Every structure is written in C-alpha cells, then in structure tokens.
Amino acid sequence: MVLWLDRKVVQGFGAARWRHPVRLYAAPRSINVGDDLDDGGIADELHELGYRAVASRPEEPGTFRRGAQHLELYLNAAPVADGFRDRPPRRAVLELESGRLVRSIELAPGGARVDSVDLEPRPLEGLYTSHWTGRRPLELVDVPTFVVDAVLAAEDERFLSHHGVDVPSLLRAARVNLKAGEVRQGGSTITQQIVKNHFLTQDRTFSRKLREIPMAILLDARFDKREILECYLATVYLGHDRLVGIFGLAEASQVYFGKPVGKLTLGEGAILAGMIRAPNVYSPIRHPAAALRRRDEVLDKLEALGWITKAQAAEARTERPKRPVGRTAPPEAYFMEHVRRALHGEQLDPARLGFGSAIFTTLDPRLQRFASEAVDAVGRRLDRNRSGARTMQIAVVAVDPRNGAVRALVGGRDFLASQLDRATRSRRQVGSLFKPFVYLAAIADPASGITPASLLDDAPITVQYDRTTWTPQNIDEKFRGPVTVRYALEHSLNVPTVRLAEAFGIARIADFGDRLGLTRDPLPRVPALALGAFESSLLRVTAAFTVFARGGERIEPHAVASVKAPSGVVLTRAHPATERVAPRDATYVVHTMLEGAVTRGTAAEVGRSGLKGAFAGKTGTSDESRDAWFVGYTPSLVVGVWVGFDDEQSLPGSAAQLALPVWNHVMRRATAGQPREHLPVPQGVELVSVDAASGKLPDARCGAAITEVFLAGTAPRESCVAGEAVATRVDGDSPVNQLGQAIGSWFARLPETIGALFGGDGR
C-alpha cells in the first residue's frame, strides 16, 4: 500500500508542477518571395519572437542583420510537427528590392534557393482542459518574498518546519470535527492541499483525510520544500471570472490587479493570500469590502509572526487597489477550445496527454489577432448605432484552401461572457450564401445549357409543393423582367434563382449540395432550398467555399496539424480529405460571377475598399433577416463572417452593412504586404464579348457590352438585334414576348445600371 501511494505521489506531482506541460504551438510564419517585410508585419514578427538586430553578419541563432539589399537571418532551432528531432538552427539570406520587398531566398549552407522559409512556431500560453483556464508559468524566484510570507501566514505558517502534516493544527481540527460529527475543519497544510487538489477528490470525508495524510508525508519526503511551494503558488485555485477558472498567483495577479506577480505590493499580496480560504467570497471583483477585511486579517497575522513591521502593516492597510476590470480572454481562446474538442474526438484530450507532449495547431496568431480586433471594433460600432440590451454576436472563420488549415476562429464577442462557439457549434440558416452552389450545379451540367449569359425571368412565380404554395419575393420586393444569370447571382435575386432551381431540379441541387459537407444530414428536398432554407455552421459554410478557391475541389478543414508524444512519436497527423464536386472550368465560370458580386453586386463595398487581386465572395441574408453572412476568398485564404442575435431576432441591417465590414477589416490587414493573387484561367473556358442586358453577341445598336466567361462551345451565336428567341432560357414565355421583355427590361434597368456605378444594393 505504501509503495502504491509513493508511486502515485511521485507521478502525480510531476504532472501537478507543470514543469513539462503539454506544449501548444501556433503554425510557423512563412516568409515568401514577393512579401513586403514591413507592410506584411514580418519585421514585427521577428521582434515578437525575440530576434535581435546585429551590426555584423549574424553568428548565433536568434539574430539578424538588415541592410538596403539583404536581410540576413540566423534562424532559431524550431520544433516541427513531424519527425523526432527539432529543426536545427540555420542561416537564410533574403535579397531585397527597395529595402523591403523579398526578391529571393537562399538557405545556407549550400546556397539552395527556395520560395519560402519558416520562422519557428510561436508557443501558445494557457492550458486548455475541460474548458479554457488561464494558467501562467510561475517560478518561485519571481514571487516577492512578502507575498510568499503572506500565503504562508494565511495557510500554513509552519510549512518550513513540519513534514507534510502540521500535527497541532490536525489535532485542533480533529477536536472540532469529532464534536460536530462531521468534517468542518481540515487543518490542512499546503502539502496536504496539493495532495487533495491533484491526487484525491474534494469530498470532505474522513476516508479521504486518512489517505491524504500519508500521501502528504510521502510528498514532503520525496520533494524539496521549494518545489512544493512553487507548485502550490503556480496552481492554487483563486476564483472564477465569468465562469472561467483562475489558477495560480501569476494568473490571479493579472486578473485582479493587471500586473505581473513580481510587481505586487504587500497589500495586494495579502489580498491574494486571503482569497485562498474562500476565493469567490473574498474576490476583490465581486466583494471588494470583504476582500479588504480579509487582507487586514492576513496583515495582522504577518505582523504577529514578526514577518513584517508594524509600520509596513499600517502602510499596506492604507492601500486602495484600483478597481479591477477583470481579464480579457486571449484572442485564440475560441480557437483553442475548438482544438480541445477536436482532440477529444480523437481520444487525445490534452488533460490526459503525457507531460512533454506537443500539440501543433494551424493557428496564424497574426490573423487571429486581426479577426479578434475586427469583431471588437465593428461590434462596438454596431452597438453605438442601435438601442437595446441584446448583444449582436459576430463570428469569424479563416481557412487556407490550399491545405484546409483553420488559420483563425472567433466564436463570439466575448469568450469570458459566453463560451458558446458560434463559429462551429451554432447552426443558422445560410440563406443566400447557398445561391452560388445552385448556379454551379446547373452550369457544371452540360445538358442544362445554362451559362452566365442565359436569361432568367425575374417575374412573379408561385411554386406548388406538398399541398402548399410558395410565392418567393426578392428582398426589395421588385421585379426586373428577364435578367442574365450573372446579374441574378451578382445581385442576389431570389425569384430568378428559384426559377433556375425548379427548371434544373431541386433533387439534383440537393444531391450536389450534399457533397459540400454543409450538414451532417441530407439537405431538404424542398423548393426553398434554392434560397438556403437549411441550417449550417460558419465553419462548414466557409469550408464549402474552398470549392471555388480550389477549382471545384472541397477540402475538409482542420485545426490540429499533429500531436507528438514526449518521445517524438507522432500520435496523430492531419490528412484532410478532399473531394472533387465540380469540374474546374465550370467552377471558374461561377468564380467570375462571385468576383462580380464584390465589384458591382451586393458586396460592391469590397471593390470600393481598395482590395486588389482575385477577391470574390457572396453576401447572405436568412429569412426575416435573422442572420447576416459574408464569405469571401482569395486563392490562399477563405474568410467567413456571421452576424446575428443568439435569440434569432431580426437584424437592423443587411449583410453588406453588418458582416461585410468585418470581412473587409480582416482581409485588408491579412493581405497587406503580399503580392496580388489571381486564379489561373483553366482549359475549357473561353472569353466572349456579349451584350450585358440580353446575353447575346453585341451590336452597336444594343446596350453596353461586357466580356463574359463560357465553357468552351457554349457561347451565344445570335446577335442582340437578330429578332430571334434567346438561345437559352428556363421559362415558358414565347420568344416574341421574351424579346419584348428583354428590350423593355433594358430601358427599365437603365437608372439602376447607372446607380450601380456608385454602389451595390446591400444584400
């Protein structure tokens, strides 16, 4: 029995000290040819990683020299997601243009030319177990002596002299408990508290006490007093801040006083020491008066023991700490909770991994900070512009479509106020975000005959389904007559989209949508599916849009690159599944329409914001404006934004007004300093000039001409003034009527066309 207890104590204390905790890493920052060192934040990244500028050639890891034509780096050793050994230190020489633009990268020794080089991954602070808890590293030497004395005075004044158990205190507690017939006092030493907190349960029973005493004696015999005290100060429970636990003096010092533990005053140290008995009763946030009374008791004890002078005690009693504001969660809090859930699903709960294990995540800390700041800035602006007590929530997800890595994830406005992850755990109606996939399903089918220049009738329609009738409306409750497929998608028109879906087949669209991973269950086979009448999460919707960035291939998103055991063995490694859901050429055709949506359609604010390159995306508004969405992308980044109320009340604005500003805020900063990207035009696509209104071949007697994108062989062959029926249509009107409607619609849309030059319609 003694041997079993001894083994349990030795093994458990190694874990309790957190000397070798589970290490968490962000993804390493890459420096690429074409990057701007300053606009791209690379110079700041080197500073944050602790790199030091030197005047001569760098001769040791962690140093660099920057000149007008070169940046010489001596990279630190770095842990890697694969393999047993860390990456050794190495040199890299970056040739610069204009002193900041990376023209080439050369690795030494050997002089190999590469397109990119990785810095070391940034460690992530905090420990994530059953939920997010703030736990900062702490060493005894960092804690002021008077703070240590305050803790000892409050909890265990004979700690340095007893052998794990304070017999006088234990006997005193035993008398009280025997008289009461139950456990009312513990008489526990700091050593016993460690045993109780880390090895046993919190039950106040005699049987637990009988096990606690011998284990405390063994712990004291096995380990140095300084090690035991350091463990206690680093892990002691010191209350909750809005449902999130506070553990250790280092974290508590930041939460309650906004300073490192080494900067605590005697009065502040006495407050923390006094809290240990009942953390939430003596919390300076919840009960400041009680906290000060308890502080004075600790100061009295310190003075009585002779550990501080009367003058020191009197001065400490006069302290009036500034009203604590509580802490804010780190930007990556929602992301790390998502990581924890993902690992739990693979039976790799971080709380159960061996100490010294490493979790390599896909997080881009810089992009995560941009997303968090965008949510905060836009959220506060939205709050100022409306009345009411309800909080408008915002969620953001960023996915790298090249490998499926989740680069940033924000699940709400305030993690400490609500741990509900609205990016992954909430399912909301996607609305118009589904429209691009409706059009992709049709254009990808050669038999449909649908092209961006096909005409759809924007006129009243009533759909019969399952003994009910449905009459869809455009968001502005107007009808425009015949419009091109491009115009219908760019301006997010509902009625033409329903007409297309009815003609193509709701079941076929649902079958196509099922391959996108939007829901766990099959999509509903109902006419309203065309307008996104189903629920999904922001992460799933954002991942679906990787189809456009990847040329018709969807990739499964993931937040964990790998997990390594202390031995270096890889326990799990990301192998994101991919599936081709549409041909590359058809996907490119729809992509160009989504480019149009951000230049002249519902998301025209993107074009006006000054973003350059292959930006494309789609706004989305659900039924009764309960949800506002925007998902936009480049070839290397897909960012999705959702805005809404948790109680699903209607929003006071459109997706362009609510979700798009968040996306713009993130994407402007994320792409700063990077070369412009463009999706290559695939084979099987041809560019043809057509009349913008009719979709036919242009003529000087018609309206404005545009360059349209077609699958090879599907471009129109008729002139816009040929007097013949439109080549491809999906309504039952006669050719003569359609031609008349097309001409009349062009004149009717002339004011709107002029107005579109100055802004989108905001859906």
Cα–Cα distances in angstroms (integers) from residue 727 to residues 404, 456, 595, 716, 719, in the given order: 40, 12, 25, 7, 10
Confidence of residue 483 (pLDDT cuts 50, 70, 90): very high
* CA gap 216, 187 in Å, rounded: 13
Whether 175 shows a pLDDT value over 80: the answer reads no
Same domain, 146 and 50: no
Please identify, among 88, 118, 148, the residue that sits at the C-terminal boundary of a domain: 118
Kindly state whether residue 20 falls inside one of the protein's structural domains. Answer: no
Range in 166-175, 413-422, 518-527 with the lowest mean pLDDT: 166-175
Kindly state whether residue 581 falls inside one of the protein's structural domains. Answer: no
Whether 414 shows a pLDDT value over 70: the answer reads yes
Helices (H), 306-391: 310-317, 333-345, 365-384
Q: Which residues lie below 8 Å from residue 77, measured CB to CB, with a gap of 6+?
A: 61, 86, 87, 88, 89, 120
Kindly state whether residue 401 falls inside one of the protein's structural domains. Answer: no
At 21-75, the pLDDT tens digits run: 578 899 999 999 999 999 999 988 998 898 999 999 999 999 999 999 999 999 9
At 653-708, the pLDDT tens digits run: 999 999 999 999 999 999 999 888 999 999 999 999 999 999 999 998 898 999 99
With H, G, I as helix, E, B as strand and everything else as coil, classify residue 354: coil
Same domain, 288 and 166: yes
Kindly state whether residue 221 falls inside one of the protein's structural domains. Answer: yes
Question: In this predicted structure, what is the pLDDT of residue 246?
Answer: 83
Same domain, 180 and 82: no
Kindly state whether residue 94 falls inside one of the protein's structural domains. Answer: yes
pLDDT, the chain, mean: 86
**pTM of the complete model:** 0.80
Helices (H), 124-248: 145-155, 167-180, 190-198, 206-222, 225-235
Confidence of residue 186 (pLDDT cuts 50, 70, 90): low
Same domain, 184 and 280: yes
Kindly state whether residue 60 falls inside one of the protein's structural domains. Answer: yes
Q: What percent of the chain has pLDDT over 70?
A: 84
Question: How many H helices and E strands in the chain?
Answer: 25, 31
**pLDDT greater at residue 182 or residue 451:** 451
Please say whether the beta carbons of 745 and 693 come within 8 A: yes
Same domain, 73 and 184: no
For residue 105, report the phi and psi dihedrals to the nearest 5 degrees.
Answer: -130, 130
Please say whether the beta carbons of 688 and 48 come within 8 A: no
* CA gap 513, 300 in Å, rounded: 71
Question: In this predicted structure, what is the pLDDT of residue 709?
Answer: 96
Same domain, 197 and 236: yes
* CA gap 120, 708 in Å, rounded: 46
At 116-168, the pLDDT tens digits run: 999 999 988 654 444 445 556 678 888 999 999 999 999 999 899 888 888 87
Same domain, 39 and 105: yes
Output the six-digit token pair for 692: 């913008």
Cα–Cα distances in angstroms (integers) from residue 745 to residues 470, 596, 707, 726, 748, in the given order: 25, 20, 20, 14, 5
Strand partners, 631: 618, 640
What is the CATH classification number for the domain harbouring 206?
Answer: 1.10.3810.10
Kindly state whether residue 114 falls inside one of the protein's structural domains. Answer: yes
Nearest to 426 by CA among 406, 405, 407, 412: 412
What is the CATH classification number for the domain harbouring 40?
Answer: 3.30.2060.10
Whether 576 shows a pLDDT value over 70: the answer reads yes
Same domain, 159 and 283: yes
Q: Which domain holds residue 82?
A: 35-118
With H, G, I as helix, E, B as strand and everything else as coil, classify residue 667: helix
* CA gap 316, 296 in Å, rounded: 9
Same domain, 103 and 151: no
Output the six-digit token pair for 318: 């006069």
Please identify, among 56, 89, 118, the residue that sits at the C-terminal boundary of a domain: 118
Please identify, among 50, 85, 118, the residue that sits at the C-terminal boundary of a domain: 118
Domain count for the chain, please give it.
2
Same domain, 87 and 189: no
- Residue showing tokens 């360059």: 707
Q: Which residues lie below 8 Å from residue 487, measured CB to CB, with a gap of 6+?
A: 493
Kindly state whether residue 273 falls inside one of the protein's structural domains. Answer: yes
Range in 100-104, 255-259, 424-428, 684-688 with the lowest mean pLDDT: 255-259
At 72-92, the pLDDT tens digits run: 999 999 999 987 788 999 999
Output the six-digit token pair for 729: 């249509």
Same domain, 88 and 203: no
Whether 323 shows a pLDDT value over 70: the answer reads no
Same domain, 86 and 148: no
Range in 218-227, 388-397, 440-449, 747-756 with the lowest mean pLDDT: 747-756
Confidence of residue 19 (pLDDT cuts 50, 70, 90): very low
Cα–Cα distances in angstroms (integers) from residue 508 to residues 503, 530, 590, 630, in the given order: 10, 11, 18, 25
Question: In this predicted structure, what is the pLDDT of residue 390?
Answer: 81
Question: In this predicted structure, what is the pLDDT of residue 6?
Answer: 63
Nearest to 622 by CA among 391, 428, 392, 379: 428
